Amino acid sequence: IVDSSVKYNSKLLKDNINSLIIRYPFIKVITIGYSVLGALFIVSRFGTGPKEVFYCGTTHANEWITSTLLMTFLE
């Protein structure tokens, strides 16, 4: 689903997330807020167990590669 050979953008991210939650129904996605430009801040959650790990990507506007990396990992 996630094509790591293309430059990521918010539309592709949304499309990939929607495809992933259809294929893997155990993935949960929630919106935790919005940027000043109205872009969604989303969190995906999967798995169970006593330990939790948080991965964060695209902290700044031009860091699209971290979104691709995290989405590839999620898939």
User: How far is 36 from 63, CA to CA, in rounded Å?
Assistant: 17
User: How far is 64 from 10, CA to CA, in rounded Å?
Assistant: 9
pLDDT at 72: 92
pLDDT at 54: 87
75 pLDDT band (50/70/90 cuts)? very high
User: What is the per-residue pLDDT across 9-55, written as a single tens digit (0 to 9) for each?
Assistant: 888 988 999 999 999 999 999 999 988 888 888 889 888 889 988 88
Is there a contact between 63 and 57 (Cβ–Cβ < 8 Å)?
yes
61 pLDDT band (50/70/90 cuts)? low
| Secondary structure E strands in 7-54 | 28-34, 40-45
